[in-house]
A = this chain, B = another copy of it.
Amino acid sequence: MAITIKDVAKLAGTSTATVSKVMNGSYSISEATANKVKQAMEELDYHPNAVARMFAKQSTKTVIFLATIEKNSGYSNPQLFEMICGLEQALSNKKYALLIKNISPDETPDYVENAMQCRICDGFVIHASVISKRLDSLFFEHEIPHIVIGTPNFKSHFCWIDIDNRLAGEMAITHLFRKGYQRPAYIGGKEDDNISNHRLEGIISVFEKHSVNFDERLIKRGESEPDNGYNSTLEILGKYNCVDSIICANNYITYGCVQALIERKVNIPGDIGVITFDDYPFSKVLRPQISVVDIDVFDVGVQAGKYILHKIKKPNTYVQSYITVPVLIERESTNKRETRLRKI
């Protein structure tokens, strides 16, 4: 059997309560006894039993992260893991443990309810892809410390944190204008792709601010695949030779777009500027390198971690949303060398 608090107490000639107080840094202990105890711990190479501690304190110092993570998630959703990295950092800093659990949306409420009743963790960080109305009611009734990463697409009481894709769209178009481009086109994912939608909304809002309409014919939608980028670009080149820049909703579309431009010997950034979102995986590798509005997904994880810890400490605070800001990474693909004097 391992060394316990009793052994330490015996060797130090004190009670176990005193040892406990020394471990937990109570001020009501004289330096002399504290030293005796510390020495005894040292001598015996004592390590307090973590589970016994959790048990006595009724707290686990553990946060569970819930999302659907299955075969291929590592490849198909690196951002999820980038968030996890940030989350781990924030929790680890405060001596909290991070437990990862794969789950489907319908299992989540039962799992959460059970986990709370079994007191398996102190709180939850939940990816928006596994939330549901049932989960919302559960949280609302039981006041379970949680934070959702991603925006719920229904009315709810969740605390959530997300990326501001509208703002990212605004930043992309603003950058193009600043660089002297005047007639951008947009190639997005399918109509039901919310990320593409929000980015587009941001773009349109900037046009509106200047009281200009974004010509709808210059908005293309399709699969988030290189083929869509390729075909849409050819279409744009064929029909609208006024276009001087293309905003691609994501890296996959960008890849096809750039292929098409190179094939048609269209100069980037001279003839057409290209900008996209998220610095992954093609934007760095393509030639020319592509300017992007990037989002610090790691930081989203960090913020989620900080928030859940805060919530665990002070369950009565309530923030519904909390947002991280995109960053522009300027590269060759938008480096138009023309005069910037014209106004749109």
Chain A residues packing against B (C-beta within 8 Å): 2, 45, 47-52, 54-55, 58, 60, 62, 69-75, 78-86, 88-89, 92, 97-102, 114, 117-120, 226, 252, 255, 259, 280-281, 285, 287, 297-298
Contacts and interface: CB of A to CB of B under 8 A. Distances in A.
A26 B95 CA distance: 38
B88 A80 contact: no
A74 B81 contact: yes
B50 A71 contact: no
Given A2-B117, A51-B51, A285-B226, A100 B74 contact: no
Given A118-B47, A118-B50, A85 B73 contact: yes
A49 to B, nearest CB: 6
Query: How many subunits of this chain does the assembly comprise?
Result: 2
B83 A49 contact: no
B102 A100 contact: no
A226 B286 CA distance: 9
A47 B97 CA distance: 23
B117 A88 contact: no
A119 B51 contact: yes
Contacts of A84: 69, 74, 81, 100
A297 B80 CA distance: 18
A52 B73 CA distance: 34
Nearest to A70: B85
Contacts of A50: 118-120
